[in-house]
Amino acid sequence: MRLYVASAGTGKTHALVGELLALLRQGVPLRRMAAVTFTRKAAEELRRRIQGEVARLSSASWAEEAQREVYGAVFTTIHGFMAEAIRHTAPLLSLDPDFALLDELLAEALFLEEARSLLYLKGLDPALEGSLLALYRKRSLAGAFRALPGAEGLLELFQEVLSGYHRRTREALGPGDLEALALRLLEHPQAVRRVVERFPYLLVDEYQDVNPLQGRFFRVLEEAGVQVVAVGDPKQSIYLFRNARVEVFRQTLKEAAEVHRLAETRRHAKAVARFLNRFVERLFPEPERVPVVPLREEEGLVEVHWVVGEGGLPEKREKEAALLVERLAALRGQGYAYREMAVLVRSRASLPFLERAFRALGVPYVLRRGQSFFKRPEVRDVYHALHLALLEGPPSPKERISLLAFLRGPFVGVDLGQVEEALQAEDPLPLLPPEVRMRLDGLKALAGLRPLEALKALVRDEVFLRRLSRRARANLDTLLLLAAEERFPDLEALLEWLKVRAEDPETSELPEGGEGVQLLTVHAAKGLEWPVVAVFDLARHEGGRSEPVLVGLDGEVALEGTEGYQNLRRTLARAQEEESLRLLYVALSRARDVLLLTGSLSERPGPWAEALMDLGLGPADQDPLVHRHPLAGLPPLPSPPLLP
């Protein structure tokens, strides 16, 4: 494997584009390559970059063929590539290639429904559903689970629930199901050869975020003959909760045939680059460091502010927030617009302190919400209902997914166990209860309406609305307003709009209206950058929750209270501690020109505060970057200005 080890802002996408162009110049057609990344938006951006480069080099002998192929070339997500590989080899695996893909939320909901039904029928504790769901979510860690002492019964129950879930979903696959099938593919030599023949060249972006099963998939393909190029930055591996494991990248770094380091940054001003290098040099292992070399001439600015003195941490945080907002207002006076600023936090628990300070000091702000708007349950329910409005004849695998969602959702609200016999049939519609068929007939009437009218009829459905919270109903009003800004020629176009927005986590997350300083978590800021970035509440601890069941990297399953659980808990705690530093690195590296860090002196400093102290930038240090603010000398927060 050829591996590029990057740092933030050093051009990972540019490196992948260069690799693709090099293959084209060697005469490799685009149809023999696959470019894989983590979001559809990133994949399409890569396609656009290649499109532009091909157009620019149109006189080259290979350019004409590349221009024809670029629209159909495989630029996709990891799960999208796995689906391509499975469809290409489906007959060898005794699979129907016309399977549909379940989104993660619906797949989990269907699994939970099966778990609840089984627990009820067996007379077991309903609280077990939490442990069963935890196992379902951890399938990406290992190809198979094995129970440690005390977990045998839970694992047996999980396998029973999983079998029922697979019967219920039939030809529809959730993300974990797709990975499990990809592992089956690897065990079939002829299937592996077919994938190698179809995609002899594979380029993978954001390799630091792959989970163990995905890493195994790429490794076996490489061993079988696929030429793999991967790009990533292990310092930005921050998705432990999604089963990403930086160990996959580290192992690849040890074994890679070629390793290239990307060091030149066009993002960071000199002061920010120096600070990042100081942070990385002190706190990261040598193979992962990659000190950055700034190409910009601007000096930039880095400041570390600490609120010190006697007083409780909540009071200090109030003053820390006010201090930060005043500093941002001063930067606005130096020419930075508020929309060019962002304040990043480790936890949403820090946001109320910031909001009070912004309101009191009259500085505009924009709060990014956590869940993507177009993935909210009520919006997805509308999507599935609209999808069924176009249903003709027995449902296809994709239409069957919408049928499952419609039946179990607030439009109908039936227990899928009551209609299980119907759902197993090739055409379940005639076997459904009369009242359900009546609801489906009502949906078909929407197909004759204009798209916006059809949408309005659904979101005004009285049965639907009665089962929704006030906030969910408000979200549907927002959906109508957003749709009204578009021009949909037909219902299919409206469905495609809803589908694409839901699949793109960056564009589908809607901030509150207005312009101002953006307030968001570090995870939400991944992939973004601003001229001015502030990191607030360095003293914050992340509250660790005790999980009822843990899974190890070798598939070990352990229940809370057992010896095996304690061993896995210690391993997880070390991984979380490491990831905390990577999360701080991601926050710091979002800044282009100005980086501000603020914290409050605490008897129990959080991991970010400890990292700053380790750098010699704590509240007791004399470094020129450090500014101390005694609590007693800070003015009280003014009352918020009255609204006109």
Write the pLDDT tens digit of every residue in 41-52.
888 888 999 988
3-state DSSP helix/strand/coil % of the chain, to nearest 5:
55, 15, 30
- Which residues, 6+ apart, have CB-to-CB distance to 164 below 8 Å? 114, 117, 118
CATH class of 288-368+513-633: alpha beta
What's the mean per-residue pLDDT of the chain?
91
Q: Return left, alpha or beta for 555; rule: phi > 0 is left, psi -120 to 50 is alpha, else beta.
A: left
- What is the average pLDDT across 349-359? 94
Per-domain residue ranges for the chain?
A: 2-96+178-262, 100-170, 288-368+513-633, 373-503
**Per-position b or e across 439-477, b if 16+ CB within 10 A of its CB:** bbeebeebeeeebeebbbbbbebeebeeebeeebeebbe
Query: Which of the listed CATH numbers 1.10.486.10, 3.90.1150.10, 3.40.430.10, 3.40.1280.10 matches domain 373-503?
Result: 1.10.486.10
pLDDT in tens, 206-215: 999 999 999 9
Per the annotation, binding residues are 6-13
**What residue spans of 462-562 are helical by DSSP H?**
462-466, 470-484, 491-503, 522-525
Q: What value does the mean pLDDT take over residues 92-121?
A: 90
Residue type at position 42: A
Q: Which CATH architecture has domain 2-96+178-262?
A: 3-Layer(aba) Sandwich (3.40)
At residue 508, does pLDDT exceed 80?
no
pLDDT in tens, 423-457: 888 899 999 999 999 999 999 999 889 999 999 99
Residue 591's pLDDT is 98
Taking a C-beta distance cutoff of 8 angstroms, is the pair 20, 48 a contact?
A: no
Retrieve residue 505's tokens: 């986590």
Tokens 């843990």 map to which residue? 550
Q: Which ranges of 307-396 would DSSP assign to H, the alpha helix?
A: 313-333, 351-360, 377-389
Give the pLDDT score at 514.
56
Q: Quote the CA–CA distance of 525 and 38 in Å, as a whole number.
A: 15
Establish whether domains 288-368+513-633 and 373-503 are of one fold: no
CA 566 to chain CA centroid, nearest Å: 29
Spatial separation of the C-alpha atoms in residues 246 and 237, rounded to whole Å:
6
List, as residue ranges, the binding site for ATP.
6-13
Q: pLDDT tens across 324-337, in order?
A: 999 999 999 999 99
pLDDT in tens, 107-140: 898 899 899 999 999 999 999 999 999 999 999 9
For the chain, what's the residue count? 644
